[in-house]
Amino acid sequence: MARPGTACPQPARRVMVAARALLFWALVYSYCGVCACIAGLRLLWSIGRRPGETFRWVVRENPPACLNDPSLGTHCYVRIKDSGLRFHYVAAGERGKPLMLLLHGFPEFWYSWRHQLREFKSEYRVVALDLRGYGETDAPPHKENYKLDCLIADIKDILESLGYNKCVLIGHDWGGMIAWLVAICYPEMVTKLIVVNFPHPSVFTEYILRHPSQLIKSGYYFFFQMPWFPEFMFTLNDFKVLKSLFTSQATGIGRKGCRLTAEDIEAYLYVFSQPGALTGPINHYRTLFSCLPLQHHEVIMPTLLLWGERDAFMEVEMAEITRIYVKNHFRLTILSEASHWLQQDQPDIVNKLIWTFLKEETKRKRE
């Protein structure tokens, strides 16, 4: 028996680690089961009310005109040597200007940055990427290909393939998660970090375990652990869930926001209605619990965190806690009337805040 004050014997420590891991995965799969049951009940309710409409799924054959709007930039492709994957992106602004790389969230794609592509092309080479598995970017079939290490390496390799060694990195939602991780793992590649509606990953993992309300709001993380069923639920009633995410009173852009037009909605439906188009995006979440918590935490470059206070998925308290992980200039701005879809909801305000941050940092360096 160990004396008081001495470390636990190695076998005892292993048992504790194993017990902790068992409890963690029991929580994950138990909550996954709860979310699946709720989704099943909603499915039965929909079938009972409108059986003919429930399983209607229309594949959009032709892209709406907005996806080929020349004012947004040029559609480009790059193949990464190490992974062999081909990535699609839209680029605006002259080659040779400083790079601004934009990473979208879920369920989005490059088009969620349309307002920023137009705004920042005057001074930057602005690149809005389709992440691995999204849109016209290649989608590997196995969920192991979507681990965080792979997603981080994608950004590093794309940066190099574009002929740059550093960039202003901007991410929203899941793209914000990736942006934080790239900034942590490859700080030399990120001159300035801007994240929209996603806290530092360590804040998220710690907060969600201590606050049941955030656990409930993040229920889709657990639901997405199931095979095929989440994709199936998205297709019901011709992608009603997808439409409501952006337009409903509970989760969508509010009355004071810049609401998505019918053509904008069609752009999302065009991308995600294609056969198999949802599996890659949802696979991003299917490996998440095996990759957290993080071993490295600190962010050392100037950082701007923008947050819509009406975010239905992320509690605003996490935004302020994020400050402790940034070991450089940190600016937090919370917009009281804005939703989770902040860069689409309040594009003029968001663009102005980004300009202020970028010019403020340039001025600070000169001084």
CA 158 – CA 129 distance, rounded (Å):
9
Catalytic residue among 264, 285, 311, 345: 285
Could you tell me which residues are beta bridge partners of residue 99? 125
Choice among 104, 172, 200, 340 that is catalytic: 340
Instruction: Give catalytic status of residue 264 as yes or no.
Output: no
From residue 18, give the alpha-carbon distance in Å to each of 24, 26, 64, 220, 342: 10, 12, 52, 26, 41
Looking at the chain, list the stretches that DSSP marks H as alpha helix, in order from N- to C-terminal side: 10-49, 51-54, 114-120, 148-161, 174-185, 201-210, 212-217, 219-223, 229-247, 262-272, 279-286, 317-321, 342-345, 347-366
DSSP track, 30-55: HHHHHHHHHHHHHHHHHHHH-HHHHT
Q: Identify whether 29 is a catalytic site residue.
A: no
The type of residue at 172 is: H
Counting beta carbons within 10 angstroms of the beta carbon of residue 139, is it exposed (0 to 12), middle (13 to 18) or buried (19 or more)?
buried
Cβ neighbours for 95, distance < 8 A, ≥ 6 positions apart:
125
CA separation for the pair 213, 327 (Å, rounded): 29
Phi, psi of 249 (to 5 degrees): -65, -30
Catalytic site residue from 138, 173, 264, 311: 173
Q: Which two tokens stand for residue 32?
A: 């996954």
**173: annotated active-site residue:** yes
Residues acting as catalytic residues: 173, 285, 340
